Amino acid sequence: MEIAVIYDFGINKGGGDFVMFNILEALYNANHEVTLITSRPNGLKESAKFFGKNVPSVEIRAIKVPSLLKHPYTIAYTARKTVKGEGDAYDAYIVSDDIPRYIADCKGICYMHYPHAARFLFREYVATKYKTTLRGRLLWKLHEITFPEFYIVNRKPEKWVLIANSLVTRLHAAKTFHINIKDIFLLNPPVASRKINEKLRASFWEKEDLVVYIGRFEIEKRFMDILYALAYLREKMNIKLSLIGFTRDEELIFKIVKKLKLEKNIELLVNANREILINRLLRAKAIVHPAPHEPFGIAVVEGMAAGCIPIVKKGVNGPWLEIIEKGKYGFGFNNVEELAKLIENALKMYDSINVKAIMAKALQYDEMIFQEKFIGLLKKLENLSIRQ
């Protein structure tokens, strides 16, 4: 098949880029003719370097978008330019999260981390900055009005296969697009589990009383809860914490760290490279994921593959429901006091916890397993008729 993947690597570095990179690899390895259509032609190379991968030999078609356009509208613009005057130029299209209206009548696959369309219905997934200030609320209202002009928001196009990254995403997408949940396939995202685990086995690092957090430094991620938990434990244990993620406001974090007198305990790694991230996981005994609204949680699996005990927020979220299966492969907490106690227990009892079972669970999400399953779902698209 001639397949066009419409995606901009590097807009939001992290799990989304890793998923689309694996999709490109899977398509290329399955001998499909693949074209990456993007407004950031250098993004693929940048992501390959970040993830320590080789750049797949796919064609790259660059689309220049107006500088004022921001994601996700850049994707809609790129899709429009792709099909304008060309009809079904490709046998199929692959996009992330939402389907641009301009290609809705074509055949395609949409891999959903969490659709923008669902955020209008499930507002707990709207970023805090769009709910707490007048400017933010006005911007979100404008987004809510504008988005349906460019994307499908309340139905599933006939010739599209929808894939959800988690049970939460699958349920919310079904309600958003008014379809049966069985019409959405479940495929958890890829994780470099095997490679991380191999590094652990070959590593000379010994596990330390180190806790790791990986994610964007946004209020809704509740990373501050870890700081308060460490402050609670300060008199009991000498715990180190590595905060790893992306932010533009690290000064706020420094102020809270200073207020809590945790300067000697906290390591803030902003925009850290992949090697540093893996290094900290290999040394850590625990990884904490405090976000209450997380569709899946790739970082949790990465930590588990590195032999870290996962401590996650209880609730309707991927880390609790799917990854650690309600406490089978890790711990869950409801509040800061519980979090502090679980961190203490995980560090003190590390050698008596079944870490081998935790690592085995992480290996179930390895990227090679994902690629094989994705190609299997692609066959469902191939079986659709050219025209309904």
Residue 335: CB atoms within 10 Å? 12
Interatomic CA distance for residues 372 and 205, integer angstroms: 33
CATH topology of domain 2-190+367-382: Rossmann fold (3.40.50)
Question: Is 0.85 topped by the overall pTM?
Answer: yes
In CATH, 193-363 is 3.40.630.10 = no
Cα gap 370→18, rounded to integer Å: 11
- pLDDT given for residue 384 in this prediction: 60
Report how far residue 207's alpha carbon sits from residue 57's, in angstroms, rounded to the nearest whole number: 39
| pLDDT by residue, tens only, the chain of 388 residues | 899 999 999 887 788 999 999 999 999 999 999 999 999 999 999 999 989 899 988 999 999 999 899 999 999 999 999 886 554 579 999 999 999 999 999 999 999 999 999 999 999 999 888 988 999 999 999 999 999 999 999 999 999 999 999 999 999 999 999 999 999 999 999 999 999 999 999 988 899 999 999 988 888 888 889 999 999 898 888 899 999 987 756 677 888 888 888 888 999 898 888 899 999 999 999 999 999 999 999 999 999 999 999 999 999 999 999 999 999 999 999 999 999 999 999 999 999 999 999 999 999 999 999 999 999 999 887 776 443 3
Encoding tokens for residue 379?
Answer: 């066959």
Q: Which spans in the chain are helix H?
A: 15-29, 43-51, 73-83, 116-119, 134-146, 167-176, 193-202, 224-233, 250-259, 274-283, 298-305, 318, 336-348, 355-363, 367-382
pLDDT of amino acid 387: 36
Q: 268: exposed, middle or buried (C-beta count within 10 Å: 0-12, 13-18, 19+)?
A: middle
Span(s) in the chain for CATH 3.40.50.2000: 2-190+367-382, 193-363
Neighbouring-strand partners of residue 80: none
Q: Of 208, 233, 329, nearest to 312 (Cα)? A: 329
